[in-house]
Amino acid sequence: MAEVTKPAALDGIRVLDLSRILAGPWCAMVLGDLGAEVIKVENPAGGDDTRTFGPPFEAGESAYYMAFNRNKRGILADLKTGEGQGIVRRLAAKSDVLIENFRSGAMEKFNLGLDALRRANPRLVTCSISGYGRFSPLAERAGYDFMIQAESGLMSIIGEPDGPPTKVGVAISDLITGANAVQAVLAALYHREKSGLGQHIDLALLDCQVAALANVAQAYLMTGEKPKRYGNAHQAVAPYEPFETADKPIALAVANDRQFRILCRELGLDRLAENPLYASNSTRAENREPLVGELTAVFKTKGREEWLRKLRAAGLPAGAIRTVDEVLESPEIAARDMVRDVPHPAMGSARMLGSPLKLSATPTIEPFHPPTLGEHTAEVLVDVLGWEQEKAEDYAAKLVRDPE
């Protein structure tokens, strides 16, 4: 019997992705993973900015662009022209979701105001992503992940206590905002099922990153005390940090008093468990420095793998501090389908990250390659807007030949 293909959760939903760079494309990509038909609209003068973010490049495509644009069909449309605006307007009329991250007022300048698009298609969910929000004293300012990491306070809590503020190694503000955008879009679609109407979503990178300060922000709101940097240690839990061993470091996360007693037993340091300075998590956090010194002295007597076997056997959360290559080539990542081989028209086959979303009844779709620039222009104009094939091909060829 042939295997029955399970429909994805968003099968039948069409997303018009007018965004570029990271947060908006990330949102649209995840919706595509979940089965939505995503149409990515790019300008003919080079397309999404991330196409030029490199090195590295492979077959003309950048790692940045490849990471944020799987499971989309790509078309070209010049929004500075009436023809391009008309195409987007007609696509919006046939879409369920529109995502954009232009500067404030740009959509109106293109004769594509979101209020007007929703009047033409009352079921349309529109999502605007910006650095500071559409209704903000900083609405006119462009948003960049690095600026948001700095201005949100995130960098002030990352790094060694006596070192400079440090950013996260990926565009975390964009990623968090993209994830929040997915949640908001899904909530708006659920609301539409009950009301029959779409709505507007206004997301700011700054809002999303400040919200992600979570317990650190809440601690300040409770105490009025300025948060400090703790390096790789935890500000409220100890021991919860890396430890040097005889060869390679380990990461140890002891989250409660019971685990601390087990750790002391495994390290032959039962006297520490009896010491009032370390009896509770709060006292361990207050007396972190001498405690870390005692533990480090023992950890340095054996190598990483021996300690990991011992600690894990005792049920303690301990791990190797791995490099990216070690992670991506690991058996557990392979077992979870987190690295996929995806056919690509220029590369032949592209190794790409897979979706982390594992749904039993509505699994994510089999991934397909990020579109080459304008790859599906004629196809979408024929399939979605009903253009004649020759007219669509002529339009697509014109934009490719004359990108300005």
C-beta of residue 396 within 8 angstroms of C-beta of residue 377: yes
CB-based contacts of 2, cutoff 8 Å, min separation 6: none
Q: Which runs of E-coded beta strand occur in 18-83? A: 37-42, 57-58, 61-62, 73-76
CA 301 to chain centre: 40
What is the rounded CA–CA span in Å between residue 197 and residue 200? 10
Structure confidence at residue 238 (pLDDT): 93
CA torsion sign for 70, 71, 74, 80 is negative
Other beta carbons within 10 angstroms of residue 79's beta carbon come to 20
Structure confidence at residue 400 (pLDDT): 76
Q: Give the residue ranges of DSSP H helices in 268-344.
A: 270-274, 281-286, 288-299, 304-313, 324-328, 331-335
Structure confidence at residue 401 (pLDDT): 61
What is the rounded CA–CA span in Å between residue 356 and residue 7? 18
What is the rounded CA–CA span in Å between residue 182 and residue 258? 38
CA 383 to chain centre: 30
CA 83 to chain centre: 33
Catalytic residue among 174, 257, 341, 394: 174
Structure confidence at residue 404 (pLDDT): 47
Where do you find CATH 3.40.50.10540 in the chain?
14-212+330-401
Look up tokens 């979303």; give the residue.
357
Structure confidence at residue 402 (pLDDT): 52
Superfamily of the domain at 250-320: formyl-coa transferase, domain 3 (3.30.1540.10)
Longest dimension (CA), the chain: 83
CATH code of the region 14-212+330-401: 3.40.50.10540
Catalytic residue status for 174: yes
Structure confidence at residue 375 (pLDDT): 96
Q: Give the residue from 369, 366, 367, 368 showing the smallest Cα distance to 3.
A: 366
C-beta of residue 367 within 8 angstroms of C-beta of residue 393: no
Lookup: tokens for 278: 């370390």
**φ/ψ (deg, to 5) at 99:** -115, 130
What is the rounded CA–CA span in Å between residue 370 and residue 32? 11
Radius of gyration of the chain (CA): 25
Where do you find CATH 3.30.1540.10 in the chain?
250-320
How does DSSP assign 77-139, residue by residue? Answer: --TTSHHHHHHHHHHHHT-SEEEE-PPTTHHHHTT--HHHHHHHSTT-EEEEEESS-SSSTTT
- Provide the residue type at 280 as one letter: S
Structure confidence at residue 1 (pLDDT): 36
Per-residue pLDDT of the chain (404 residues; tens, 9 = 90+): 344 578 899 999 999 999 999 999 999 999 999 999 999 999 999 999 999 999 999 999 999 999 999 999 999 999 999 999 999 999 999 999 999 999 999 999 999 999 999 999 999 999 999 999 999 999 999 899 999 999 999 999 999 999 999 999 999 999 999 999 999 999 999 999 999 999 999 999 999 999 999 999 999 999 999 999 999 999 889 999 999 999 999 999 999 999 999 999 999 999 999 999 999 999 999 999 999 999 999 999 999 999 999 999 999 999 999 999 999 999 999 999 999 999 999 999 999 999 999 999 999 999 999 999 999 999 999 999 999 999 999 999 998 765 44
CA torsion sign for 87, 88, 91, 92 is negative
Q: pTM for the complete prediction? A: 0.94
How does DSSP assign 306-321, residue by residue? Answer: HHHHHHHHTT--EEE-
CB-based contacts of 169, cutoff 8 Å, min separation 6: none
Lookup: tokens for 393: 């091909």
Structure confidence at residue 6 (pLDDT): 82
